Amino acid sequence: MSATLDIDGWNELHPTGLRTASFTEAVTALRDVVASRGLNRQFEWVFREHVAFVKSRIFVRMPLPADTFHRSRALFEAKKKAGDLVPLAVLGTIRANTPTERTVCYIGGNCAGEPRSDAEGTQFRVPLHPTDGTVIRRPLLWSAVRFGERLSTTPMIARDLPSYAANDTDLAAL
């Protein structure tokens, strides 16, 4: 059983059975949620450096580093160990040289200026209407997209994405 709250085009699900879940259990439960929404159960885990937002479009730099899954796990475990609420969030979908789309996910945090939550456990954040992201493979094109991002208004969701580089401290703590 879970409580669902619709906020600004997002479902926030607070599954009651996942208060002490491991990363594997939480990801399995998230796969069930996204499958029930018609999204692919195969995930690509991203950090802020891998995603750009220009106007209403999402761009994902590919290929992603091989250790993004392990860094996501480490971040989940570090947040859980600190007693924080650990949001597993869906950003959108992409096609990455595969016949089927993949669901882009990240370990969320508190948005800038948002008070720290006193809740703990796991939370799922799933958009009501997931955005189809565009895959960028060429470094020069990626630079142009990131420049375009600096010129446009960055959405709040961008502030929720953790940094890949800053995650080193979380890995060292484990």
Segments making up each domain of the chain, as ranges? 2-173
In this prediction, residue 171 carries a pLDDT of 53
Tokens of 58: 């999402």
In this prediction, residue 131 carries a pLDDT of 86
Q: What is the mean pLDDT of the chain?
A: 80
Question: Which ranges of the chain have pLDDT less than 50?
Answer: 1-7, 111-115, 170, 174
Question: Which residues neighbour 136 within 8 Å (Cβ) at sequence distance 6 or greater?
Answer: 52, 59, 60, 61, 62, 142, 145
In this prediction, residue 152 carries a pLDDT of 82
Distance CA 29, CA 19 (A): 12
In this prediction, residue 106 carries a pLDDT of 93
In this prediction, residue 115 carries a pLDDT of 46
Distance CA 9, CA 141 (A): 30
In this prediction, residue 84 carries a pLDDT of 81
In this prediction, residue 19 carries a pLDDT of 67
Share of the chain above pLDDT 70, in %: 72
Q: What's the alpha-carbon Rg for the chain, to the nearest Å?
A: 16
In this prediction, residue 112 carries a pLDDT of 40
